């Protein structure tokens, strides 16, 4: 089959399912039909991004949230259970993800605030330049420092500090010992102190 023939076939197939009912499209998706998946993406992606932006107020974050929803939609297509309409299902999924994103951001912001407060109280530094750091600049510094952590260490640290999970909860979810969690958190804190040593008070 030539490239032109493939293109005609694609256009014909897309046109044929474009007029299908929502139930039929979902049924095709559950069977692993990529055309149905693409149709759903084209039909809802933009509106879902706009919906997410109303909550998180960050276009880039909104797109990541929606893209993650579509990724999960494809990964779980075989066991997909939609009791309402597909549209309602997708918007509800985005709404829940936005709430999770905001909750995690709130926890992270509280953590950053504690570090910022320590700086302003001269517990970490008395440098007037550092005292004038904006919240965003400090947030960037801390985020960059966390990103230098090894993958497993960073994951455990974020679950503890950003997701607010207890050590036992982390151990249970990752199927590791509590001692391993404690060790990884200690390593993370040690490395972060090194990465942020410019802020530390010099003895």
Q: How many Å apart are CA 56 and CA 178, to the nearest integer?
A: 34
Mean pLDDT along residues 19-30: 80
3-state SS class at 203? coil
Same domain, 88 and 151: no
Q: Structurally, how many domains does the chain consist of?
A: 2
As a whole-number percent, the residues of the chain with pLDDT over 70 amount to 70
Instruction: Say what the pLDDT of residue 93 is.
Output: 93
Full domain range(s) for residue 66: 3-101
Give me the CATH number covering residue 135. Answer: 1.10.10.10
Lowest mean pLDDT among 6-10, 59-63, 69-73: 6-10
Which residue has better confidence, 102 or 113?
A: 102
Q: How many Å apart are CA 100 and CA 95, to the nearest integer?
A: 9
Same domain, 62 and 91: yes
Same domain, 21 and 94: yes
Mean pLDDT along residues 73-95: 89
């Amino acid at each position: 089959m030539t490239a032109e023939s493939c293109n005609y076939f694609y256009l014909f197939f897309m046109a044929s399912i474009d007029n299908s009912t929502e139930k039929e499209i979902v049924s095709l998706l559950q069977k692993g039909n990529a055309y149905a998946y693409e149709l759903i993406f084209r039909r809802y992606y933009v509106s879902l991004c706009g919906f997410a932006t109303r909550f998180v107020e960050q276009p880039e974050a909104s797109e990541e949230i929606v893209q993650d929803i579509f990724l999960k939609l494809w990964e779980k297509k075989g066991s997909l259970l939609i009791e309402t309409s597909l549209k309602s299902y997708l918007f509800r999924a985005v709404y829940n993800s936005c709430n999770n994103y905001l909750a995690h951001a709130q926890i992270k912001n509280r953590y950053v605030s504690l570090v910022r407060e320590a700086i302003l109280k001269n517990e970490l530094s008395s440098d007037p330049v550092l005292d004038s750091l904006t919240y965003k600049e400090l947030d960037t510094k801390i985020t960059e420092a966390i990103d230098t952590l090894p993958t497993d260490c960073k994951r455990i640290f974020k679950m503890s500090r950003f997701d607010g999970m207890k050590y036992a909860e982390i151990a249970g979810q990752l199927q590791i010992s509590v001692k391993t969690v404690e060790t990884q958190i200690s390593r993370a804190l040690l490395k972060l102190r090194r990465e942020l040593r410019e802020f530390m008070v010099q003895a």
